[in-house]
Structure 1
Amino acid sequence: MPSSQPAHSPLDALWQPTAIIWTMLSGEALALLLALAPGLDEQRLRYFGLMSVAIQWVLLWSIASLYLVRRPLRSLPPHRIAYVVLAILLVSTWVITAAIGFFFREGWGMDLGDWHWTQWRLIGMVMTIGALGIAVFQSQWRARQLALRAKQLELEALQARIRPHFLFNTLNTGAALVHRKPEEVERLLLDLADLFRAALAGPRDITLEDELALARRYLEIESLRFGERLRIEWKLPREIPRVMVPSLSIQPLVENAIRHGIERRPEGGEVEIAVSTMPDTVIVRIINPLASGGENRPGHHVGLNASQVRIEALTGGRGSVLTQQEGRRFIATVRLPTNT
């Protein structure tokens, strides 16, 4: 099903405390730079205080305005968001400096002409810095999108070589069951149809619940192939959190658990899929026993890299896919930020 979650915005990082602190410090640096300009020998400290108040109010007002309109901005392409940010900065600079000049100019000992000059100088600096910032932002954003797209195409090409392996195994399993358990063949083909329907639908975002359903379809097929060698344990909360994931981003990790764990163990083993929640994060863990010999092989990383790139792209870097070996178990951990 289509995603109902708002798309990631380049401005999301702006609401973080670290970003706000650095913005305020940059404003103080700009105020200091203006106070050190020639011609203010006896008024530098007073001028610094005035510029500090003006710049900090402009920045805080701009951040607050952007936060209030964050939802409509999510529907805009990144380059238009940059122009909206510049427009808000310019309007905020004009409004705040006009208000400060009206209420406090005389108290600071500045005549109207000097204040207008200061006001226009601030607006000019905002315009110049903003234009440079837009150019740098657009260049970096294009480079990032091209890199993500190139990586995704590379990983999709790798996955395209993996899918025939699964298809042939499934068809062989179906052929073996036709005479012995014909009722199971229908279920196998229906599960296979659901998986390939999701694969052929192309890149899209679906709910975690739907993605886990695809993983369940895959495991049902593999259960027919491995029989008693494959044991599956689901540890799910009563209600699956409504977070969005890229289609076929969890299922490849489950597929890795089968191919590089169960398939390489004559005695088979157990695959565990667990979902847990934290205040701002949903955690999905896929756990499988290591192959005979106790060491994980590099084959895990094709599915891992594909899932990692797609989840990071969807969540703007807030989500992650990490792996670790714990004793004789291989654990893939997916972290997904909850909707805000």
Structure 2
Amino acid sequence: MSAPARSPLEALFRAPVLIAVLLAGEALALIMSLASNEAGTRLIQFGLASLGIQWVCLATLCALYLLRRPLTRLSPPFLAWVCLALLLCMTLLVASAAWTVFGISMHPAEGRASFVLRMLAIAIVVGFLTMLTYQNYWNTRQLAVRAKQAELEALQARIRPHFLFNTLNTGAALVHQRPEEAERLLLDLSDLFRAALAGPREISLADELALVRRYLEIEGLRFGDRLRVEWQVPAALPDLSVPALSIQPLVENAIRHGVEPVATGGDVHLQVATDGDWLEVTVANALPSAPVRPTTGHQVGLNAVRARIQAMTHGRGSVRTTTAEGRYTAVIRIPLTP
């Protein structure tokens, strides 16, 4: 999955786009040479046109790259006009240099002024066509980003109702018997749903683990001694961002499928570790040894977490699951470097 670009210039400096620009320049040079009336010199004219066009393209791209930081502050329509102006300036410089230094022209009888004006006219036409093409490309890309964002929001929304209903039932049962614990439950619940309702976003690993601890406190009130949690977290956590509520759904699945169906409860193991250039977050639970009522599986929360991890890491991160020796294990892998 490619990274969503925040500015049209970011998308411009991708390998496929750069290759397309160079190939389009070669196609333009071929058209110009084929349009010539002098059939015997078309190969030479193609070479000269290709050299000039590629110099214009590369010079324009270099100028845009050097000016990318101030240009990213501009609105896309105004940025397009600035790019066209840079293209015309580079065309003027290359055409003037070609005539002055080498005496190059596609037509020997052509004067300097007419040659430069003809090159500028071609650049204007090509520039406008490129602007229209790239505008469609950018709009399509933005629509794809919005569609992916909507998909992630829909996936995240699917993991809320089950937990909400269980927590409210637990709170209702504690109101009269243990009001202090009911108050703590509602405070923890408010923190969790504040994070959930904020939508897909990134938070620090430490904040995400804090949300997991609040969730486990709530479930601890619900299950009591039936829930046994083991933490293996280093004292110094990596300074890394993760999607909000990305670890909590895996812990929720572990409780739902490894603790809730069993009368004696079960254990949940949560480990945070680094493996080279990767962060690994492992959530494991024991599978019930005796037959229990069927459940819907781990897939709802798992699919939501997997999609959000891949979106945040641009396809580098992963969420893998294994079942072995009576335990179900989910492992999140996130690169430590961007």
Give me the TM-score of the superposition, normalised by structure 1: 0.73
Matches within 5 A, 1:248-263: 248-263=245-260
| Among candidates 91, 98, 109, match of residue 92 of structure 2 | 98
Q: Counterpart in 2 of 1:41?
A: 39
Are the aligned partners of 1:34 and 1:48 in contact in 2 as well (CA < 8 Å)? yes
Task: Pick which of 91-100 and 146-155 moved more.
Answer: 146-155
Q: CA separation of 1:162/1:136 partners in 2, compared to 1, >3 Å: closer, same or farther?
A: same
The CA distance in 2 between the partners of 1:62 and 1:227, in whole Å, is: 68
Q: Report whether the alignment pairs 1:117 with 2:118.
A: yes
Q: CA separation of 1:169/1:68 partners in 2, compared to 1, >3 Å: closer, same or farther?
A: farther
Task: Pick which of 87-96 and 284-293 moved more.
Answer: 284-293
The CA distance in 2 between the partners of 1:8 and 1:276, in whole Å, is: 30
- 1:134, distance to aligned residue in structure 2 (A): 1.0
SS of the residue corresponding to residue 109 of structure 1 reads coil
Q: Report whether the alignment pairs 1:216 with 2:216.
A: no
Are the aligned partners of 1:148 and 1:309 in contact in 2 as well (CA < 8 Å)? no
| Among candidates 221, 239, 242, match of residue 241 of structure 1 | 239
What amino acid is the match of 2:305? S
- 1:7, distance to aligned residue in structure 2 (A): 8.2
- 1:124, distance to aligned residue in structure 2 (A): 0.8
Q: CA separation of 1:298/1:165 partners in 2, compared to 1, >3 Å: closer, same or farther?
A: same
Equivalent residues, number: 321
The CA distance in 2 between the partners of 1:11 and 1:273, in whole Å, is: 40
The CA distance in 1 between the partners of 2:79 and 2:226, in whole Å, is: 60
Matches within 5 A, 1:156-195: 156-168=156-168, 170-171=170-171, 174=174, 178=178, 187-195=184-192
Q: Deviations over 1:100-148 (max 9, x none)?
A: 1222224153242234213321331121132133134324533x25533
The CA distance in 2 between the partners of 1:240 and 1:13, in whole Å, is: 30
Q: RMSD over aligned Cα, in angstroms?
A: 3.9
Q: CA separation of 1:13/1:293 partners in 2, compared to 1, >3 Å: closer, same or farther?
A: farther
Higher relative contact order (CA 8 A, sep 6+): 1
Task: Pick which of 98-107 and 65-74 moved more.
Answer: 65-74
What amino acid is the match of 2:47? G
Are the aligned partners of 1:211 and 1:247 in contact in 2 as well (CA < 8 Å)? yes
Matches within 5 A, 1:1-340: 8-9=6-7, 11-17=9-15, 20-21=18-19, 23-68=21-66, 70-71=68-69, 80-81=75-76, 83=77, 86-106=80-100, 107-110=102-105, 111-112=111-112, 113-142=114-143, 144-145=144-145, 147-148=147-148, 150-152=150-152, 154-168=154-168, 170-171=170-171, 174=174, 178=178, 187-202=184-199, 204-224=201-221, 225-227=223-225, 229-236=227-234, 238-243=236-241, 245-264=242-261, 266=264, 268-276=266-274, 283-289=279-285, 291-292=287-288, 299-311=297-309, 317-318=314-315, 320-325=317-322, 327=324, 328-335=327-334, 338=337
Q: CA separation of 1:73/1:104 partners in 2, compared to 1, >3 Å: closer, same or farther?
A: closer
Q: CA separation of 1:272/1:97 partners in 2, compared to 1, >3 Å: closer, same or farther?
A: same
The CA distance in 1 between the partners of 2:8 and 2:275, in whole Å, is: 26
